Amino acid sequence: MRTGFLEAAVRWAYRPRIRVRLAFSSVLVLVLLLVFVGYALASGLRSGLRERAHESLETPFRVIELQLARDPGVHLADIFAVSPAGEPQDEVIGQRLGADGAVVDSTGQPAVLRPVVGRAELDAALRDGEWHEARHLAGREEDDIVVVVPVSSGSGTGDFVVLAQSLASADAEVGSLLRLYALLAPLLLAAAVAGGWWIAGAALRPVDALTRRAAAIDPDVSDATLPVPPGNDEVTRLAVALNDMLARLRNALERQRQFSADASHELRSPLAVMMATLDVHLRSPDLPDEMRPLLRSLREDATRLTRVVEDLLVLSRSEAGGAVDLHTADADLLDIAVGVAGRYRTPAESRDITISVSGAPVVVRVDAQLLGQAVANLVDNAVKFGRPGGRIEIRVMDDTVPALVVSDDGPGIPPKDLPHVFERFYRADPARRVGGSGLGLAIVRAIVAAHSGTVDVSSTPGNGTRFTIRLPRHGDDGTPRRESRRGSLSSPRAGS
């Protein structure tokens, strides 16, 4: 059982249900979308805040330019003693570089005691009128936006003013956004899981309904069809395709039944003539002795073919529907069991197999000949497949319902074959293929079903097989019904 569970788990893992796959796919798409949106929001916000920081340096640059025009010897530290726009003193730092790139003056912080930029940045500022970039300056915890502007008026013409503003507040805002996003993302994922599961279930619910209806349809019921939803979507087309397939299946089954019935009728007469001819020759005193074994072998083959033909005819009648009368009458199941055991006692003794009958008389209303044929098929299988020296028991019971049990102590039936033993022409593994046409158990099921009964099988390899036929009681008040009833097949004596 554990192995079966593991195999089912592996199959589910490699091929889960469509609903699971749809929900998982929607969640995966949302995760990718959330990652992309989060990255885009953080990148856009960081870029916007840094651009705003860059623009905010325009004010201190104008202050420096104005002060230099008034007093060429003013120090940057004095200009930034009171930081513009009420910003903290260490928020904006700067330095003045000469035309050669050497530091002429600075606000005094360690980060600006040495040149912050090189010759390439100064040349870019001269060419474009300004140069800016986010950089990490030595001694500063956060990145700074660094702006280089050439001085184009006053006594400082030819120099460069380098200003740097901390991006700590901008990065803090980006971090706050990412933390908020990280808190909301799981909620969005949970909502996506629930929504995806519900949407997938709603989308597949019509398919599930069609699947259940299709599994419950009996192909033998001519008017059984699947409901076709209105519209022209995939579910509607699926229902139409399934109904078309059911129609084709019914046509194929009907042709198969008709062929079986026609072939059986056509073969009965020539086989009867063949058997009669062989019987006449076998009784003839003029028949050479060396021919008798050959004719007996032909007679056995003709008998086997006749039985196959009769079985096919019975199956064809059973599958044609309930249009044939069962010749029912009160019969004792114990008498039927004793009669079958008597017929098979000789072939059983030839294999050193013992047949016993047990139980008490149980009167039911059945077609005794057909039910006897069903029991005979079970006993015939037990004799053919039983081990020499074994035992076959036919037991009649009347517990909750009348029942007739045929059990043996033979090799048993493999578990993989049990679900199929009542299918026509089904043969078990080669070790059990000892003659036969594969129709015997199909005949048993058809006969029992015609009596509104059931037949089931249980078997343990190496410990034998048990077939149980259960029949309905013949009257709700305990009195037998005298009328015949309609069944799904007829006894062979009902005519062909």
Please state which CATH number belongs to domain 234-319.
1.10.287.130
Query: What is the pTM (predicted TM-score) of this model?
Result: 0.48
Report the percent of the chain where pLDDT is more than 90: 10
Helix (H, G, I), strand (E, B) or coil at 106: strand
pLDDT of residue 83: 46
State the residue for tokens 């593994």: 429
pLDDT of residue 24: 77
pLDDT of residue 89: 41
Residue 406 binned pLDDT confidence (cut-offs 50, 70, 90) = very high
Per residue in 358-369, pLDDT (tens digit) is: 998 999 999 888
pLDDT of residue 80: 73
For all residues of the chain together, what is the average pLDDT? 77
Report the percent of the chain where pLDDT is more than 70: 80
Looking at 15-19, 34-38, 184-188, 345-349, which range is the least confident one? Answer: 15-19
pLDDT of residue 9: 52
Residues 6 or more apart in contact with residue 187 via CB below 8 angstroms: none
Residue 487 binned pLDDT confidence (cut-offs 50, 70, 90) = very low
CA distance from start to end of the chain: 49
- Checking if the pLDDT of 478 tops 50, the result is no
State the residue for tokens 């904006």: 92
pLDDT of residue 479: 41
Looking at 35-39, 254-258, 271-275, 411-415, which range is the least confident one? Answer: 254-258
Mean pLDDT score, 304-318: 70
Looking at 310-324, 332-346, 369-383, 465-479, which range is the least confident one? Answer: 310-324
For 207, 210, 238, 414, the CA distances from 231, given in Å and listed in that order, are 15, 16, 12, 49
pLDDT of residue 26: 77
For 17, 22, 182, 235, 272, the CA distances from 195, given in Å and listed in that order, are 17, 11, 20, 21, 72
Architecture of domain 324-494: 2-Layer Sandwich (3.30)
The residues pairing with 366 across neighbouring beta strands, listed in sequence order, are 329
Which residue from 331, 339, 391, 334 is spatially nearest to 360, judged by alpha carbons?
Answer: 334
Between CA 115 and CA 165 the distance in angstroms is 16
- Checking if the pLDDT of 430 tops 50, the result is no
Hey, how many other C-beta atoms are within 10 angstroms of the C-beta on 441? 22
Mean pLDDT score, 482-496: 37
282 close to 299: Cβ distance less than 8 angstroms: yes
Residue 37 binned pLDDT confidence (cut-offs 50, 70, 90) = confident
Between CA 405 and CA 30 the distance in angstroms is 62
β-strand pairing of 103-106 with 324-325: unpaired
Per residue in 98-112, pLDDT (tens digit) is: 888 888 888 888 888
Q: Which CATH superfamily is domain 73-166 in?
A: PAS domain (3.30.450.20)
Helix (H, G, I), strand (E, B) or coil at 87: coil
Looking at 203-217, 449-463, 477-491, which range is the least confident one? Answer: 477-491
- Checking if the pLDDT of 224 tops 80, the result is no
115 close to 102: Cβ distance less than 8 angstroms: yes
For 191, 200, 235, the CA distances from 25, given in Å and listed in that order, are 14, 11, 21
pLDDT of residue 482: 37
> CA torsion angle for 433, 435, 438, 440 (degrees, to 10)?
-120
Looking at 9-23, 207-221, 231-245, which range is the least confident one? Answer: 9-23
406 close to 467: Cβ distance less than 8 angstroms: yes
Tally the C-alpha atoms within 13 A of residue 258's C-alpha that lie toward its C-beta.
6
pLDDT of residue 296: 83
Per residue in 150-203, pLDDT (tens digit) is: 887 666 677 888 888 888 788 788 888 888 888 888 888 888 778 878 877 777
The residues pairing with 394 across neighbouring beta strands, listed in sequence order, are 357, 406
324 close to 493: Cβ distance less than 8 angstroms: no
In one-letter notation, the amino acid at residue 312 is L
Looking at 54-68, 115-129, 225-239, 475-489, which range is the least confident one? Answer: 475-489
- Between these two residues, 273 and 219, which has the higher pLDDT value? 273
Mean pLDDT score, 469-482: 61
Beta strands in 184-238 (DSSP E): none
- Checking if the pLDDT of 491 tops 70, the result is no
CA angle 257, 261, 263 (to 5 degrees): 115
**Which pair of structure tokens corresponds to residue 353?**
């197999």
pLDDT of residue 3: 53
**Please, what's the largest Cα pairwise distance for the chain?**
154
Per DSSP, the chain holds a count of helices (H) and strands (E) of: 11, 14
Phi, psi angles (nearest 5°) of residue 226: -90, 140
Mean pLDDT score, 333-343: 92
Phi, psi angles (nearest 5°) of residue 88: -60, 155
Beta strands in 291-382 (DSSP E): 324-325, 329-332, 354-359, 363-366
Mean pLDDT score, 426-455: 71
Q: Per-domain residue ranges for the chain?
A: 2-50+173-210, 73-166, 234-319, 324-494
Between CA 149 and CA 131 the distance in angstroms is 7
Which residue from 468, 439, 473, 442 is spatially nearest to 456, judged by alpha carbons?
Answer: 468
pLDDT of residue 396: 93
- Between these two residues, 167 and 339, which has the higher pLDDT value? 339
Between CA 466 and CA 456 the distance in angstroms is 8
Which residue from 469, 344, 472, 342 is spatially nearest to 406, judged by alpha carbons?
Answer: 469
pLDDT of residue 169: 80
Residue 433 binned pLDDT confidence (cut-offs 50, 70, 90) = very low
